[in-house]
Structure 1
């Protein structure tokens, strides 16, 4: 399982874990080396995460977004007016645009349109789960490699091998890359597969 967040400074991985731990390590490195260029990645998607690293460690941590779950001593936000859906169950109403023939078909299904759509989505998720996990892993590896290794030898060939599902060639092409970058790229690319 990939960590929630990963920070790199140059070719070296400096931290991995929750956002607070990664931000703390990044700020501490900047305290030691003012010229450090730090990139923080979402550990699952490899999207770059923008963290304001100005000030002290406490300042940085205070500016981080709050986690989704509230702690027991925090007061819950005032309740918003209730709309459609079942918010207590996590059901949220959103707009779906379909052609009339699709709406006609949905209207004929047992349980109505919402039940039919949920069943269709669940079935699609079951039948394409492995393909989806592989695609997401490849996309994450691609984003990370583009940010961290876009100018490395064999980068383009490694990307081709990644999307061609040629694990052996991929590993061979990136074998001479810095260890932390190479190992993280491999972990991202094949996190959906057993070794």
Structure 2
């Protein structure tokens, strides 16, 4: 997933896009008192904007944790991204896993993939709710109807949420709605 940030100065959205685009825009405007949000999580980004554009870009976080190489050689297939870890199970669990086609590793991978697929819509919804809520707490906590809007967000009441955030400053309202979109996305119908 592509990293996306949005910067606000007061109740005005002043930049949005990749971290490089946001930093470049902020340095071009020489802004102060800016809050930068990670759009995926709604968390504030702690960024040192001192110096010129190149210095600021050099201090940007370097992506996700998966890009970090292990410092010690461990069992597994590191070139394929496979790193061995310890799993503690009861003997009856190991017996069942070892009886599965392909053995314990294949069975565990299949179980994990199945659980991930089954829970993915709920995870995306929860992540959207949390991102929108974090953003709203930071910039809309004093706005009228904030608490009711947060309740509507978690209750999945899209129309009520939209009505409650409507009187907020335009940029805050629009960004809160944008972050909350995934919280109101409909899942595929349940299998009968």
- Same-fold call, TM > 0.5? yes
**CA pair 139-100 structure 1, distance change in 2 beyond 3 A:** farther
Query: Aligned equivalents of 1:10 and 1:144: distance in 2?
Result: 13
For the 8 Å contact 2:100–2:107, the answer to whether it is kept is yes
Query: Aligned equivalents of 1:25 and 1:147: distance in 2?
Result: 22
Determine the structure 1 residue equivalent to 2:123: 132
Deviation at 1:162, TM superposition (A): 0.4
Determine the structure 1 residue equivalent to 2:159: 168
Determine the structure 2 residue equivalent to 1:71: none
Q: Deviations over 1:156-179 (max 9, x none)?
A: 111110010000001111101111
**CA pair 21-114 structure 1, distance change in 2 beyond 3 A:** same
Determine the structure 2 residue equivalent to 1:122: 113
**2:149 is the alignment partner of 1:158:** yes
Deviation at 1:181, TM superposition (A): 1.0
Query: Aligned equivalents of 1:148 and 1:104: distance in 2?
Result: 53
Q: Deviations over 1:39-69 (max 9, x none)?
A: 111121112211111112222112223457x
Q: How does 1:1-195 map to 2 (within 5 A)?
A: 4-29=4-29, 31=30, 33=31, 36-67=32-63, 82-191=73-182, 193=185
Q: Deviations over 1:144-194 (max 9, x none)?
A: 111111121111111110010000001111101111111111111113638
Structure 1 range deviating more: 185-194 or 42-51: 185-194
TM-score (norm 1): 0.81
